[in-house]
Chains A and B, each alone.
Chain A
Amino acid sequence: MWGEYSTGLLLVLVAAVIGFVALAVETDDLHRLLLLDLVEIAALGIIALLGSDLAEALILPGLTVGIAELLALSQIYVTKENLKDRPVRGLNIEVIQKADAPAVLSAFLVVYGLILSGFTGGGVAALGLVFFFASRGYKEDLEMLEMAGGISWAVWILAFFVFMFLPQYWFIALMCAGVGILIKVMVKLSLSGTVWGERHG
């Protein structure tokens, strides 16, 4: 009867409406935040149904916006409920804290991320670093990392300007963009793993 796109769009909109109805009925704030993630998935579904390369180009900023809002709102929630200084017991699992496995796994993930490079590589490498920090409970001085992240982000934007105005130098711009975004994403995501701080009980 209908094409694939129309049926898919109808189903995703049904999912979004279900999410919104539940959001309207809910009263607890943290439940609302979880339901917001659900409607965010529905929004990404509407974009993904386009099915072309344009859809990918639209999904990535949508994801970034979603995660930024989620970070901001969760931090406000913690501050609002006066939960900021509540100590959270870290993972007391011996095999993670004392054995070598987390170091090996993190090293593998970081190397894999470096090979992939780009946004995805940054995410994978950051996952490795976050896992390492979460298992060992590091408290690092992060200023240098932040500066590296900022500079690499500027390098990435510069690479895009080179793409647009000096296309004959595309290869070096590509390399700069890949490495820049890798470092930036890695720093940002691994920061989120350390800043929350843990006290091992």
Chain B
Amino acid sequence: MISTPEFIAGMILLVAGSVSVAYARPKNYVTRLINLEIPAWGLLLVMLHFNESLALFTFAAISVLSTYIFVRTIQKREGA
């Protein structure tokens, strides 16, 4: 099985990122939100390996939007 570095790095980031989001220490909203970027990066690397460029761009754009929504909700919740 010969895989390019992107694929291996993407998979490692995906699994390690999932662990980091699931067990976020310190456990607050902002930590989880920032840690969500790690598996997202892993997914982007996997998409890069398969040359799925359209999906890559769209996922990046949607990720920006969902981060914005989360920040809004967290702001409303924590009152600042």
Contact = CB atoms under 8 A, between A and B. Distances in A.
Interface in A10-55: 11-12, 14-16, 18-19, 21-22, 30-31, 33-35, 37-38, 41-42, 44-45, 48-51, 55
Interface residues of A, number: 58
B22 A34 contact: no
Contact of A78 (B40, B43, B76): B76
A146 interface: no
Interface string A164-201: 00000000000000000000000001001100100000
A96 interface: no
B65 interface: yes
A77 B73 contact: yes
Interface stretch (A65-73, A99-107, A150-158): A65-73
Contacts of A37: 36, 66, 70
Given A21-B22, A34-B36, A60 B54 contact: yes
Contacts of A81: 77
B7 to A, nearest CB: 7
Interface string B35-68: 0100110110011001010110111011011101
A19 B22 contact: yes
B73 A30 contact: yes
A98 interface: no
Interface string B13-52: 0110111011100010100110010011011001100101
Contacts of B70: 33-34, 37, 74
B22 A48 contact: no
A144 to B, nearest CB: 23
Bin the interface of chain B by size. Answer: 35 or more
A120 interface: yes
Contact of A66 (B62, B73, B76): B62
A74 B72 contact: yes
Given A55-B50, A88-B80, A35 B21 contact: yes
Given A30-B73, A74-B69, A88-B76, A15 B14 contact: yes
Contacts of B77: 30, 81, 83
Contact of B52 (A51, A70, A84): A51
5 contacts: A12-B14, A18-B15, A30-B77, A67-B62, A192-B69
Query: 5 tightest A-B contacts by CB?
Result: A123-B61, A22-B22, A15-B18, A51-B50, A59-B55
Interface of B: 1, 3, 7, 11, 14-15, 17-19, 21-23, 27, 29, 32-33, 36, 39-40, 42-43, 46-47, 50, 52, 54-55, 57-59, 61-62, 64-66, 68-70, 72-77, 79-80
